[in-house]
Structure formats: C-alpha cells, structure tokens
C-alpha cells in the first residue's frame, strides 16, 4: 500500500492498530484503554523535546503503564501503542540528534537536558533510567508470550538493544562501596554520588534487561545498590521505614525524601524483593506502614514526604506509583484502589500507571 504524503508517527500508529482484537478484560481495562489511547495520540502529535526532562517525568509514565498492562492482559493493542510511543521517544535520544553532552564531552546514547544543569546539556542517569526501563520491560514481556513475539519480536529486540545501549553509557560511573557489599553511582556534573532515586532508576533498567535476556549480568550491581539503599533506611515509629532523598555515603541522615522521588525507590525495593535481592517481607511491611500511617492519611491529606508530615498534597497523585507494593500488601492495594477513585487521581496523568500497577494479581506471601 502506498501512503501519499509524509508518513507521520500518528499515521503509523493507526495502521499498526488495525485488525487487532482485544485481549481478556483486566480490572478498569476500559478506562485504561481510553486513557492510554488518547494520551499516546496526543504524545505522537507533539514535537519531542528533552530540554526540561518531560520525557522522563511524563512520557515514561505512559510507557511504563503500557508495559505493565501488557504484561498483565497481553493485549496487542497495548503493544502497538507502546512501540509507537517508544519509537517517538527514541528518536529524541541525544545520539539520534547529534547533541553533545557538554559535561562529559561527547554524544551520549541517552536523553540529555539543560534545565537541571545551568543551561549546559547533560544526560542524567535518572532520566535515561526512567525512559529505558519500560523499553526493556516490554521486551521481557514479549519474549515470554509466543503470540506477542510473533508480532512484536523485532520491535522488542530493537528496543531492548536501545535500552542496553543507553544504560551502558553510564557503566563507568558505578563505584563499589563505601560499605561492605554496597555500590553507588557518581555524577560528573555534581562531582559526587547520586541521590537514591537517581541511581535506582538506572538499576530498575538493569533488572528489566536481565529479565529480558535471562542473564544475570547486572545482578551484582543491583544487589549492591539495593544494599546501599537498605543500609540508609531508618526504622521509625510506628513500625515504619524512612529515608532521605540524598543520604550521605557515611554518617547520620535525618532527612526525609519527598513521596514522588520516593516512588522510584519503593518500586525498586519491591522489584528486588520479587527477585530475592536484599529486601525481605519485613521491609515491605515497614514500607506499608510508612505509606498508610505517615503519607496517605486521607484522600485529601497526602503527606509530602516519607516521614512525619507538616505539608500535604504537593505530590498527592505520586502515591499511585507506589502501586507495585499493593501486590504483596493487601491493605496497600485496598487503600490505593480507593484513592484511584478520587478526583485528583482521575485527573492525573499518572492515572494509567496507577491502574496498571493495581491491576496485577496479588502476590501476598512472596
């Protein structure tokens, strides 16, 4: 078939969806389908820019939502939407645009920005991790499903390769220590180690790559970053775990991370637990207490940080991104299901990811 004129991403997206049948309905499947269809269409119609990090703090949530729901429902329409959006985002990677990282002095196969580095272009590990993790997660799901692999195997291989290229660009910024069995990432722009959420965003991509390839190539580094985090979490009343945004390599930390950045760390913690890495059920139970006793006090009273709160509702919808914890902790599942029905949740761009994370079957007991 010859298509006259310029073939846009949106047009290719529409062609890809043609003829697909719907997979078995998942919880809130209709809402999810409508939300993601519209969101992907909007995203494909916009020029892609990375200057202020909108892909990492926006499109990545949509990619993650589609990847998570694809793993649950197996609907090929989710796969088609994912591929269309992922290719759109991949086209903006710095090496695809020949944009030079002004701090590292070379072109990175990563997503750079200028907003957080005083106008100098710099590729942050966290931005790349947020975008690359769902690409590798998509590939892992496709590899497990023969029917999806027949249709999307080539796309999965390509996107997995892109994710591997992207995180490999940060490999020489990893350091072992400072404690026994620990590891951390350093940042050439900051001249010091990264905050927890920044390095764990990259580690989530390592997890997804290992899942997709079936090879534990990154296992040791994942374990070391997980141990670094666990050793910097503090027990607090009543039965909670708290931690800071940027704990020091050594010494006492009395700070509390905001719940939005903390969602990355909570997700990393649960992913590690599911693979037998460092975190155990007692950690899940303590983080449940953190969410239900310190953060999500009421639908309209969501604490700003993982600790005793005096400010509320700045990041209220970020609790939806704690949803993977609900697969193991029924009280978290029930509470977040209720929060998902609130007006603030329904109007949030993070709603599809919340729906997807809460749609997974329970894993209580693991």
Domain annotation covers residue 144: no
Tell me what the pLDDT averaged over the chain comes to.
92
* Global pTM value: 0.93
pLDDT of residue 304: 98
Number of domains the chain is built from: 1
Residue 55 tokens, joined: 């892909």
Domain annotation covers residue 84: no
Nearest to 339 by CA among 314, 364, 318, 311: 318
Domain annotation covers residue 320: yes
Average pLDDT of the residues in 26-55: 88
Domain annotation covers residue 240: yes
237 pLDDT tier (thresholds 50, 70, 90): confident
Residue 300 tokens, joined: 């309209």
Give the integer Cα–Cα distance in Å for 218 and 224: 10
Average pLDDT of the residues in 21-26: 45
Domain annotation covers residue 264: yes
Tell me the C-alpha to C-alpha distance, in Å, between residue 185 and each of 93, 180, 266, 288, 333.
22, 16, 18, 27, 32
pLDDT of residue 366: 64
Read off the pLDDT of residues 152-210 as tens digits, 9 standing for 90 and up: 999 999 999 999 999 999 999 999 999 999 999 999 999 999 999 999 999 999 999 99
Domain annotation covers residue 288: yes
Average pLDDT of the residues in 128-138: 98
26 pLDDT tier (thresholds 50, 70, 90): low
Domain assignment of residue 289, given as a range: 232-366
């Amino acid at each position: 078939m010859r298509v006259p004129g310029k073939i846009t991403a949106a047009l290719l997206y529409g062609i890809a969806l043609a003829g697909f049948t719907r997979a078995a309905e998942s919880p809130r499947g209709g809402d999810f389908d409508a939300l993601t269809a519209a969101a992907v269409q909007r995203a494909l119609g916009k020029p892609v820019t990375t200057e202020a990090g909108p892909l990492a703090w926006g499109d990545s949530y949509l990619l993650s939502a589609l990847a998570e729901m694809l793993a649950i429902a197996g609907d090929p329409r989710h796969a088609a939407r994912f591929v269309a959006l992922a290719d759109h985002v991949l086209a903006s990677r710095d090496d695809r645009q020949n944009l030079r990282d002004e701090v590292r002095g070379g072109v990175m196969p990563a997503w750079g920005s200028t907003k957080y580095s005083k106008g100098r272009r710099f590729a942050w590990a966290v931005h790349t991790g947020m975008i690359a993790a769902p690409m590798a997660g998509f590939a892992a799901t496709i590899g497990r499903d023969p029917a999806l692999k027949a249709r999307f195997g080539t796309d999965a291989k390509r996107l997995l390769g892109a994710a591997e290229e992207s995180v490999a660009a940060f490999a020489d910024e990893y350091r072992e220590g400072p404690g026994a069995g620990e590891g951390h990432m350093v940042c050439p722009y900051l001249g010091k180690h990264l905050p927890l959420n920044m390095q764990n965003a990259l580690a989530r991509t390592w997890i997804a790559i290992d899942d997709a390839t079936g090879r534990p190539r990154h296992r040791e580094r994942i374990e070391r970053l997980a141990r670094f985090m666990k050793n910097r979490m503090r027990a607090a009343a009543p039965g909670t775990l708290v931690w800071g945004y940027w704990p020091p390599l050594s010494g006492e930390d009395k700070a509390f991370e905001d719940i939005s950045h903390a969602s990355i760390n909570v997700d990393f913690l649960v992913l590690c637990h599911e693979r037998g890495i460092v975190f155990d059920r007692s950690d899940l139970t303590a983080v449940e207490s953190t969410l239900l006793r310190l953060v999500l006090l009421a639908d309209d009273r969501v604490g700003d940080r993982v600790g005793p709160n005096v400010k509320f509702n700045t990041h209220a919808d970020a609790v939806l991104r704690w949803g993977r914890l609900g697969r193991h902790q029924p009280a978290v599942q029930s509470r977040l299901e209720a929060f998902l029905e609130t007006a603030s949740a329904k109007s949030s761009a993070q709603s599809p990811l919340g729906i997807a994370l809460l749609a997974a079957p329970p894993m209580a007991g693991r």
